[in-house]
């Protein structure tokens, strides 16, 4: 059974107003790019609005990523075999003990091979074509069908808190000392032990990330699968990269329309399409999932532009645009 609940926020303002005359005339409203729609889904709310909104996430994601599909299983004891590979993100409630799991691999006339493991929130099961997963007790899981099979270096289960080959690596959304950031599936071997270009994921506690986007033409869609949160957690988003990257044309009226603020809680799935600026705050623990994988050079920081806008317009206090101080001293591209 598919269970999901979503609230979504979308801007209603446009970049045409970035060139409004400075003669006191009203600026044109800022309007969003057609494909860029941020959607926040709470996966465990079983109501009509929630199911419809998760369907919206699924529709946008699959339309923008041919060959991929996704589903959420609220209480699965089995995930069936498929002709494609499936990446299973375990979202079982944190207080529950790990589930005993078996991955069944067909092997022709010799019967079926079993690989046994345990699965807990934050873990990934990797099912190659023809493989199925059985678990006891049931787990909640976000499942992606991907067009390419992971290589032999990728294990059947990736467990960030139990795998000695996965350790904390600073960077990305977690640059502070002592940050929790564990890379499960990566584009580059230098970043982690398990490489796969079809989908990347890292489990990270986001306290104060730098503000950035992934270009619509060369970047990737991103999901925050929230696994722990507190009352201070927020995600900031903006559809207006072009306006922010042109501080010299910004007006105070337009600056006030640039960002949306999204509250988050454990069990949320936040969809961030290519081209959308985003920043996490407060300490949210999430699986950050990118499709396709995280291409180097496609993480474009904008904090230096936000600082420039504040300084040019004299924005202070509550009127100032939020920015990451550490990332504001120069352009950041990763």
Please, are residues 91 and 225 in contact by the beta-carbon 8 Å criterion?
yes
pLDDT at 318 over 60: yes
- What is the predicted pLDDT for the residue at 46? 79
**Which tokens sit at 55?**
């369907």
80 close to 132: Cβ distance less than 8 angstroms = yes
What does the block give as tokens for 289?
């999932």
The predicted-structure confidence for 256-311, as pLDDT tens digits, reads as follows 999 999 999 999 999 999 999 999 999 999 999 999 988 888 999 999 999 999 99
Identify any residues that bridge with 134 across adjacent strands, giving them in sequence order.
78, 102
CA angle 37, 317, 235 (to 5 degrees): 25
Q: pLDDT-based confidence at 13, cuts 50/70/90?
A: very low
- Host H or E run for residue 54: helix 48-64
pLDDT of residue 1: 31
- 58: DSSP letter: H
State the chain's mean pLDDT as an integer: 85
Question: Where do we find the tokens 């022709």?
Answer: 108
pLDDT: is 243 or 48 the higher one? 243
Predicted confidence at residue 49, as pLDDT, reads: 79
> pLDDT for 29-55, tens place per residue?
444 344 568 998 899 887 887 788 898
Q: Residue 20: pLDDT above 70?
A: no
320: nearest Cα among 330, 332, 302, 306:
306
The C-alpha atoms of residue 28 and residue 249 are separated, in whole angstroms, by 13
More confidently predicted of 24 and 95: 95
Query: Quick one: pLDDT at residue 28?
Result: 43
Instruction: Please give the structure tokens belonging to residue 199.
Output: 């989908």
Burial group, residue 25, by CB count within 10 angstroms (0-12, 13-18, 19+): exposed
Q: Is 9 helix (H, G, I), strand (E, B) or coil?
A: coil
What's the average model confidence in pLDDT over 207-213?
94
Mean pLDDT score, 7-33: 37
Q: What is the pLDDT of residues 111-139, one digit of tens each?
A: 456 789 999 999 999 999 999 999 999 99
Specify the range with the lowest mean pLDDT, choosing from 63-77, 85-99, 222-236, 306-320.
85-99
pLDDT value, residue 175: 56
Assigned fold of 5-66+161-328: Jelly Rolls (2.60.120)
pLDDT digits (tens, 9 = 90+) for 68-90: 999 999 999 999 999 999 999 99
Structure tokens at 215: 């270009």
Distance CA 248, CA 57 (A): 35
Q: List the domain boundaries for the chain.
A: 5-66+161-328
**What is the per-residue pLDDT for 83?**
94
> How does DSSP assign 289-318, residue by residue?
EEES---TT--EE-HHHHHHHHHHHT--GG
Q: Which helix (H) or strand (E) holds 255?
A: helix 252-255
Structure tokens at 86: 């499936």
Pairwise CA distance, residues 20 & 128, whole Å: 54
- Confidence (pLDDT) at 174: 56
Token output for 113: 């091979």
For residue 237 the two structure tokens come to: 């988003």
For residue 135, give Cα distances in angstroms to 72, 87, 104, 218: 16, 15, 11, 38
Q: Cα–Cα distance between 318 and 78 in angstroms, integer? A: 50
Mean pLDDT over 204-229 rounds to 93
pLDDT digits 0-9 by tens, 133-167: 999 999 999 999 999 999 999 999 999 999 999 98
Radius of gyration of the chain (CA): 21
pLDDT confidence tier of residue 225, bands split at 50, 70 and 90: very high
């Amino acid at each position: 059974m598919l269970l999901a609940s979503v609230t979504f926020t979308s801007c209603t303002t446009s970049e045409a107003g970035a060139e409004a005359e400075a003669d006191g005339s009203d600026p044109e409203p800022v309007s969003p790019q057609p494909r860029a729609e941020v959607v926040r889904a709470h996966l465990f709310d079983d109501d009509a609005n929630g199911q419809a909104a998760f369907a919206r996430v699924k529709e946008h994601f699959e339309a923008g990523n041919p060959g991929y599909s996704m589903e959420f299983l609220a209480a699965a004891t089995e995930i069936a075999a498929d002709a494609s590979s499936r990446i299973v993100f375990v979202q079982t409630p944190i207080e529950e003990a790990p589930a005993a799991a078996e991955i069944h691999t067909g092997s022709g006339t010799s019967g079926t091979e079993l690989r046994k493991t345990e699965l807990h929130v934050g873990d990934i099961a990797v099912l190659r074509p023809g493989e199925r997963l059985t678990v006891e007790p049931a787990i909640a899981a976000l499942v992606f069908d991907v067009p390419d099979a992971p290589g032999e270096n990728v294990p059947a289960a990736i467990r960030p808190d139990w795998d000695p080959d996965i350790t904390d690596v600073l960077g990305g959304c977690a640059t502070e000392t002592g940050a929790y950031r564990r890379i499960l599936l990566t584009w580059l071997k230098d970043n982690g032990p398990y490489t796969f270009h079809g989908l990347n994921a890292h489990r990270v506690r986001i306290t104060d990330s730098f503000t950035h986007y992934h270009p619509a033409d060369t970047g990737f869609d991103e999901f925050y699968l929230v696994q722990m949160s507190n009352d201070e957690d927020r995600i900031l988003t903006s559809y207006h990269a072009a306006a922010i990257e042109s501080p010299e044309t910004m007006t105070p009226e337009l600056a006030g329309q640039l960002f949306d603020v999204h509250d988050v809680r454990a069990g949320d799935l936040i969809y961030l399409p290519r081209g959308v600026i985003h920043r996490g705050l407060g300490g949210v623990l999430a699986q950050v999932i990118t499709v396709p994988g995280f291409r180097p050079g496609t993480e474009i920081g904008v904090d230096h532009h936000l600082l420039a806008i504040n300084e040019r317009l004299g924005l202070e206090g509550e009127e100032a645009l939020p920015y990451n101080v550490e990332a504001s001293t120069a352009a950041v591209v990763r």
